[in-house]
Structures are given as C-alpha cells and as structure tokens.
Chains A and B, each alone.
Chain A
C-alpha cells in the first residue's frame, strides 16, 4: 500500500486537491489544520486515524457538506470555496456518500431510498426500476426492496445506504466506516463492489479502522489523520507546506 506524502503538485489527473485547508466550526478552534493532499482520478484511498482525529470532518469537506474555513479545495476542476451555492447540487451528484449511521429516509422503502439520487436527477421511472432492482439484488436485498428501514437489520440498512451511494455511478465515492455493521463475508463483497467501481474509474475514499480491509486493496493509498492534521506514514505530523513556510518567513 502506498502512503500519501508531500504537498501535491497540480495535475490534470487530480480529481481533488486540498491546499493548506483548515476547518473550524463556529468560533471553536480548528478541527482540521494545514491539510494538503490530492486524489488522483481513479485512485483508491483509505483514511485512517483514531476517533476524534478529524476523519469525519475531512470527509465532510470531501462530500461538500462543509466549506473550508481557510485554504483551497479544488474538485472537479473548480475552486469549491468560490463555488456559487446554486452550483453545489451538480457537484454533489457526482459524489456518492456512505454514512456510518446510514442516514436512510425512514418512511421510504429500500427501493425508494436507493432510487432517490436517480429521481432527484430527473430520470424516468422506467429508467430507474431496472438499475435499482439490480443494485438491490446485488446487495442481496432484492426480496426486501419494499421493506422500510425500520424493519431492516443494521447490516441490511448499511447495504441499502451503499446501494444508494453507488447507484448514480459517482465519480467520487466516499464511505465512512462502510463495513462497521456488516458481517465479514458482506464486508468483502462490499469491498469488491468498491474495487469494481474503482476499476471502472470511480475514485474511492474509505474511512476505516479495519486494517485487514486496507490490506485487501494492494494498490490503495493511505491517509492518516491525527489531531486534525494529515500525518505522514511514520505517524509524525505533516510539516506545513512550502508555500506557508515561505509566507511565514520560514523557508
């Protein structure tokens, strides 16, 4: 497994690029500081780190639930910090997200939850039925497609959440602890699904504690987050990037 290292250079192959990004909520201190990295198109990335390190905040920036407090995020060739709010939905439709707590809509059936992104995108019902049914079959929930989330087990809900995230064939798939609630066999199947999507060009980012899971994808990159900063493979905190050192007179 490769590890993310060094401040990235701008490349047309990059799908996402963070430059000196910081994030704070309200008036509290920064939960993320000096984050710089880039995600190549078609790359597979794991985000690891202890609880409270800032993994979820990093993912929120990636799936556009937050804007950076400072620094610059370039995604799909656009500066996210400068992006007009009305353009955000178009960007979000290119991103699939699997949440740790599933975030299914409780009064919609498994089918309707999975179909949601397609319906939001304005597809015909006739174009929705086939792909959604196939997707539910794949995650072994075909017979339960009309069940409400409340009648599904935790693992089944997780599979619905994953199906919803990937149904729109996103360019970027972000998963926060996607295998936390599924049995080992299903975890492997899900990882195979992610790998399959990755092989077809989707950039995949998975936050996980599961080291075994990381080892199953040999070509994947690892990003370690500690105390709100991106750490290098040795575990030491990343140095401020050159541009910041220069502006601070440290170069």
Chain B
C-alpha cells in the first residue's frame, strides 16, 4: 500500500451503519449462510438415505391362509438367511403389521377378517444380489412380491439432493447479489463524487489510486454488513440445527467441522466479491473519463 492510500480520503465520508448498504449486505449474508446451511444439511442426509435404501428390499407374501403364509415365510427366511448375497433377514411381526395397518385403517385394522400380507425385510450384501433374490423368492412363492426400497425412497433422496443443490445455488446467487449491491453503491457514489474525481485527476491521481479510495469505503460498508449478517446467520443456523438435531444430522456428523468452515467462509467471500466487483466497476467508469 502506498502512502497516498493512507491519506485522509478526499471522498465524502462513508455513511456506515446510517446508510442502507451495510444492512442490505447483512441481509444477503444472513440469507446466504442459511441457504448454505440448508445445502450442507440436505446433501449428507440425501447421501445417507441413499446408502441406507440402496441394498434393502421388502418381500411381501400375500397369502390369505395364515398357516400356509407362516410356512412360506419360514421357508423364505431359512433359505435367504443362508444365501451368500444376503446380509440380514428380518420378518416383521404380525403385531407390528397390525400396528402399521391401524395407522391407516383405524379400528378396521383390528378386524380379524382383514388379511394382511407378511413382510420380510432383506438387506443385501450388494445391489447386485437383487436378481438372484427375486429368482429364489419366486421359486418358493410365485405370488410373493419383491419391492426394492429405492423404488419408493429413491425419488425422496433425489429430491433432497436437488434441494441441496438449489440451496447451494441460492447461497451463491445471494453472495453475488451482495456484490452487486456494492457495485451499485460504488457507482452511485461515483456519480456523487464527480467533482472530487475531476480534482483528483487534475492533481495527477491515477485511476488505481482513485479506485482504491472507493474500494476502502465499499470495504468498510461491506465489513459492517457481513459482520452483522454473519453473526445473525450463524446464530440462526446453530439454533435451527439444535432444534433439528434429531432429524437432520448433517452438521452433527463427521462433516460438521467442514460445514462450519464453509459457513464461516461466506462473510469473507462476500466481502471479497463486493470489494473487487466495486473496484472493477469504478475502474471501468474512470476509464471513460479523461
């Protein structure tokens, strides 16, 4: 930094918190942090869900006669437990099935005449074992249905992934909007300082020297904005994750440190975007003057 950069600025003093720029930047910073926090929470949650469902299938045995149904279920369980492509086999108890049916049917679920299928959950060693499982199940019970969990929960995981990317995009766009606010502020200030700029040019100031003066003012305003917005954003994010800690564990798992670093990077990134965007805008405008 040259000595000319340390002189009392010939530009009008920055308004600081009395002006609108720090507050607009604060709002943008806070929104960017919340959006990024959403992205950071949704992405591992979607990955975790995908990991859990990709190798899991349910076998439904829709046999009305209870004795025959239990026999088929036992045979399936014994055969599958020994199969090399199966990691785990669990048969849902009839009481658990009744309880599930009650949630949908109310008292009608208690009707003994209502036949419920038996359900067997199977964890495969890998998704490659699916075809062999279907073949083996069909040999024992041709009416049994093999339902991969990914068929139902896959779209949910995919939606969570998409929402995560959308949230990350919103975070990026919000950061860029904060930069645009700084550019508009610098341009507006530039118009108001035309006389001073003329004087500075005539006493021999270079465009870079003048741009640095604007850059410092934009940096000061933006610094206030990112400090306030960053503090509120961080507080809200921690509060939300504390409330959702049982549901969304993205930040509470191994990626927590990285997530927190990424979140804390938002304010300085916005500051850098704002300052350099404003500098470019000012230099461009000065280039059109003599």
Binding site for B on A (CB under 8 A): 63-67, 85-86, 88-90, 92-93, 95, 97, 103, 105, 107-108, 112, 115-117, 119-125, 164, 168
Contacts and interface: CB of A to CB of B under 8 A. Distances in A.
Given A103-B195, A120-B4, A125-B3, A93 B12 contact: no
Interface residues of B, number: 23
A103 B199 contact: yes
Nearest to B209: A120
Contact of B2 (A66, A86, A108, A122): A122
Contacts of A124: 3
A158 to B, nearest CB: 15
Contact of A86 (B199, B202, B206, B290): B206
A119 B13 contact: no
Given A88-B290, A108-B8, A112-B8, A120 B205 contact: yes
A168 B204 CA distance: 11
Contacts of B200: 116, 120
B7 A117 contact: no
B12 to A, nearest CB: 7
Contacts of B195: 103
Contacts of A168: 203
Nearest to B10: A105
A164 B290 contact: no
Given A92-B203, A93-B203, A116 B2 contact: no
Contacts of A66: 290
B12 A65 contact: no
A97 B2 CA distance: 25
Interface in B4-32: 4, 7-8, 10, 12-13
Given A65-B198, A119-B4, A120-B4, A107 B203 contact: no
Contacts of A112: 7-8
Interface in B181-226: 195-196, 198-207, 209
Given A116-B7, A117-B204, 20 more contacts: A85-B290, A86-B206, A86-B207, A88-B201, A88-B290, A89-B201, A89-B205, A93-B203, A93-B204, A103-B198, A107-B13, A108-B8, A112-B7, A112-B8, A116-B199, A116-B203, A119-B4, A120-B203, A120-B205, A124-B3
B84 interface: no
B246 interface: no
Contact of B202 (A67, A97, A119, A123): A97
B287 interface: yes
27 contacts: A64-B290, A65-B198, A65-B290, A66-B290, A86-B207, A88-B201, A88-B290, A89-B201, A89-B206, A90-B204, A92-B203, A95-B202, A103-B195, A108-B10, A115-B7, A116-B10, A116-B199, A116-B203, A119-B7, A120-B4, A120-B200, A120-B203, A120-B205, A121-B4, A121-B204, A122-B4, A164-B203
Nearest to A112: B8
A153 to B, nearest CB: 20
A190 B195 CA distance: 25
A100 to B, nearest CB: 14
Interface string B76-117: 000000000000000000000000000000000000000000
Contacts of A125: 3
A107 B8 CA distance: 10
A65 B202 contact: yes
